[in-house]
């Protein structure tokens, strides 16, 4: 603990004065105006001319940014906060005043985030979460604290929480590291399907922006130059080249995203009963997860990552916000080797071995395999039928194209059907319910049985004919429901009863012995 930090903590304890946001936030707000200026300059360079539409668009961007900057400046001048022994108070607004107070007992985590502009000016955004799932009302945020003040504030809140709960605060010099970044993991970065999708999203965004400015992208000089160079090449060569460019661009984008998102990654226990994930190269993030709200873990293995022996680990915990916030804040690791993900899962849960590894999965009925094979057959036929129909009307070539397409798609679909069936599994392992499913992304989740608050049972028409059901374990943590897919009816109900005895009993109608005789 630095002397400066100690002084600031003493101020929080002994002073009733109100703190304010750092004045450097004003410079951050003024920097927003650089966005329309950069857009204007880039458009001028690309098009080589300044049109009336470009000027109008630039003016609208500039006015919008100035309004946002004015609002931000008002927030800087009117926002005040303070910490007492039992609560955090926040007052803001001049014309529309807002006063919020969060009891220290309700604080579940304190997260720190700093984007590049904040980092340039030495600022950080601090968010206090109370664990409420609603997007509003779940704590409070202070956008524009100095990094030193934010760290001191986070530590002060931690001390207050531990004092009120009777826990000991961890020694800052104690090494409680669970995992740290290994740049060898970078080899897993390109193995995400969204990288290629990101290329199309970026191209679509640029096209829409230029279109709004009344600029035809196809008439730009760089596009014309590409057309002159490659306009005479065969179609197959052009498609192959375009595919290669898209894949390479997607790989580069995925790699850059990994470096930015997971640079400086560190998973540790900074204090008793708390997990903390720190990551980010340009935008730094520090996310805290209270261990008493941890209900399990989930190991996700996207297809390409699974083939390479990699996986990602997520926490199944309550109090991480709405669906979007939960998806971001629950990430415990980047793509890492599967063995390491399992080891970290065991450390996080405080077990000798991860339940996602040691659980003995029960097999699922062969009817579940038939469902997946039928699904592959139906999709193959649906895609091939239009070719065959047009072929009967126009040319036999399309008929051959149709049946060949159906055979190829069904062969691929059959392989995926068997893989999806092999990935099905469910088990009870000590205090955990473990379920596994998925082929494009195989997910293995271990959920504490005492965290299950209900069951959902769904049966489609085809499942009823096959004697199957999907059993969902409802919980207040993570995704909300963790499903055991396509299990036999009797096995599913017995499994639910064994997992949480008595929870399903009020909804089961028992047939008296001998009622079906005679």
Q: Which residue has the tokens 């003040």?
A: 149
pTM for this structure? 0.78
- Name the stretches of the chain with pLDDT < 70: 1-16, 32-51, 53-54, 57, 131-138, 165-175, 193-238, 506-518
The whole-number pLDDT of residue 476 equals 87
Residue 319 · residue 108 · CB < 8 Å: yes
Q: Is the dihedral of CA 212, 215, 221, 223 positive or negative?
A: positive
Query: Closest Cα partner for 486 from 498, 472, 473, 475?
Result: 472
The whole-number pLDDT of residue 343 equals 95
The whole-number pLDDT of residue 25 equals 81
DSSP codes of every residue in 288-301: EEEGGGEEEEEEEE
pLDDT digits (tens, 9 = 90+) for 108-150: 778 888 888 888 888 898 888 876 654 444 578 888 888 888 8
Q: Where are the alpha helices (DSSP H) in 104-212?
A: 116-120, 147-165, 194-212
The Cα–Cα gap between 324 and 445 comes to 19
Residue 142 · residue 129 · CB < 8 Å: no
Residue 350 · residue 446 · CB < 8 Å: no
The Cα–Cα gap between 347 and 179 comes to 10
The torsion defined by the Cα of 84, 85, 87 and 90, in degrees rounded to 10, comes to 10
The whole-number pLDDT of residue 161 equals 77
What is the Cα Rg of the chain in Å? 28
pLDDT digits (tens, 9 = 90+) for 148-162: 888 888 888 888 877
The whole-number pLDDT of residue 244 equals 79
Beta bridge partners of 426: 362, 435
DSSP codes of every residue in 321-373: -SHHHHHHHTB--SSEEHHHHHHHHHHHHT-SS-HHHH--PBPPPHHHHHHHH
């Amino acid at each position: 603990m630095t002397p400066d930090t100690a002084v600031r903590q003493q101020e929080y304890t002994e002073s009733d004065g109100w703190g304010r946001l750092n004045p450097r936030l004003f410079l951050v707000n003024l920097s927003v105006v650089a966005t329309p200026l950069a857009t204007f300059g880039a458009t001028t360079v690309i098009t080589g001319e300044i049109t009336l539409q470009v000027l109008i668009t630039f003016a609208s961007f500039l006015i919008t940014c100035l309004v946002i900057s004015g609002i931000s400046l008002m927030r800087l001048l009117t926002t005040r906060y303070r910490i007492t022994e039992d609560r955090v108070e926040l007052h803001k607004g001049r014309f529309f005043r807002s006063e919020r107070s969060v009891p220290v007992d309700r604080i579940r985590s304190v997260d720190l985030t700093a984007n590049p502009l904040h980092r340039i000016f030495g600022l950080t955004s601090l968010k206090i979460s109370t664990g409420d799932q609603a997007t509003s009302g779940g704590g409070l945020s202070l956008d524009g604290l100095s990094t030193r003040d934010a760290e001191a504030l986070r530590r002060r809140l931690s001390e207050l929480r531990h004092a009120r709960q009777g826990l000991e605060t961890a020694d800052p010099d104690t090494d409680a590291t669970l995992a740290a970044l290994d740049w060898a993991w970078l080899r897993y970065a390109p193995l995400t399907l969204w990288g290629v999708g990101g290329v199309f999203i970026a191209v679509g965004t640029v096209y829409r922006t230029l279109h709004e400015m009344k600029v035809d992208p196809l008439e730009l000089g760089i596009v014309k130059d590409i057309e002159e160079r490659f306009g005479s090449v065969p179609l197959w060569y052009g498609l192959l080249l375009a595919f290669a460019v898209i894949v390479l661009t997607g790989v580069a984008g995925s790699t850059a995203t990994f470096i930015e998102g997971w640079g400086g990654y560190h998973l540790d226990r900074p204090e008793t009963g708390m997990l903390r994930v720190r990551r980010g190269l340009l935008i730094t993030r520090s996310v805290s997860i209270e261990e008493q709200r941890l209900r399990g873990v989930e190991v996700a293995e996207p297809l390409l990552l699974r083939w390479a022996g990699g996986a990602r680990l997520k926490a199944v915990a309550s109090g991480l916000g709405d669906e979007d916030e939960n998806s971001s804040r629950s990430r415990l690791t980047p793509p890492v080797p599967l063995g390491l993900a399992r080891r970290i899962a065991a450390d996080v849960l405080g077990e000798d071995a991860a339940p996602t590894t040691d659980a003995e999965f029960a097999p699922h009925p062969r009817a579940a395999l038939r469902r997946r094979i039928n699904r592959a057959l139906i999709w193959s036929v649906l895609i091939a039928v239009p070719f065959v129909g047009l072929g009967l009307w126009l040319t036999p070539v399309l008929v051959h194209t149709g049946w060949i397409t159906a055979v190829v798609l069904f062969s691929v679909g059959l392989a995926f059907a068997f893989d999806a069936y092999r990935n099905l599994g469910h088990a009870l392992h000590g205090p955990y319910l473990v379920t596994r499913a998925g082929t494009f992304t195989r997910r293995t989740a271990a959920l504490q049985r005492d965290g299950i608050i209900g069951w959902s049972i769904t049966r489609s028409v085809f499942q009823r004919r096959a004697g199957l059901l999907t059993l969902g374990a409802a919980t207040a943590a993570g995704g909300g429901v963790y499903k055991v897919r396509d299990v036999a009816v009797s096995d599913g109900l017995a499994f639910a009863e064994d997992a949480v005895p008595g929870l399903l009993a009020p909804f089961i109608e028992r047939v008296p012995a001998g009622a079906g005789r005679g």
